[in-house]
Amino acid sequence: MTPQIVTLTVNSRTHQVALGAHITLLRALRDLGYTDVKNGCEKGDCGACAVLLDGKAVNSCLVLAWQADGAQINTNAGLGTQENPHPLQVAFADHGAVQCGYCTSGAIIAAHALLEANPAPTETEIRQALSGNLCRCTGYGQITEAVQAAAAVMQKVKGG
């Protein structure tokens, strides 16, 4: 297969890479050094590889890299910085929603997409939005609490 040039804009940084048509976005991101995008199941079941693709949460293992050509890709690392973390990142740390950390990036991405669409979700809506993210450590209670806390902070910030 002849590689094709693909432009991937990740966390506002543009990369031009030559990739085979069969290369997943997950593999391309990992090869570019985006280690916060975790390689879990490689079949769309765990959510560890979730990224925002033009604002929509997707499992990067199910997207071919060429399908993201020219799109805006955001990973968990692109949501905030160490000096100015995103409210979701703070809430996950504060509420013990980060244990082994493997699912964390994907869960934060799913929660971010939810809060962009629904700034005041119910507990049921949070659990439904996170249903594609498998976590073996927290039991989901802390993750749900973290999303609720972040939603409250984000509403205060938007409300002024």
CATH of the domain at 126: 1.10.150.120
DSSP-based three-state secondary structure for 19: strand
* pLDDT for the residue 137: 87
Nearest to 35 by CA among 18, 17, 11, 57: 11
Last residue of a domain, one of 78, 102, 117: 78
**50 and 92 together in one domain:** no
Count how many Cα atoms sit within 13 Å of the Cα of residue 96 in the half-sphere of its side chain.
6
- Token pair, residue 139, equals 């039991």
* CATH classification of the domain holding 49: 3.10.20.30
Name the domain boundary from 13, 44, 78: 78
Q: How far apart are CA 78 and CA 70, in angstroms?
A: 17
* Cβ-count burial 23-47 (b if 16+ within 10 Å, e if not): bbbbbbbbeeebebbbbbeeebebb
| Domain encompassing residue 94 | 87-159
pLDDT in tens, 98-136: 989 899 999 999 999 999 999 999 999 999 999 999 998
Per-10-residue mean pLDDT, the chain, length 160: 92 97 98 97 96 98 98 98 97 94 96 98 97 90 97 86
Give the pLDDT of residue 160.
54
| Residue linked to tokens 């071919």 | 64
pLDDT at residue number 157: 84
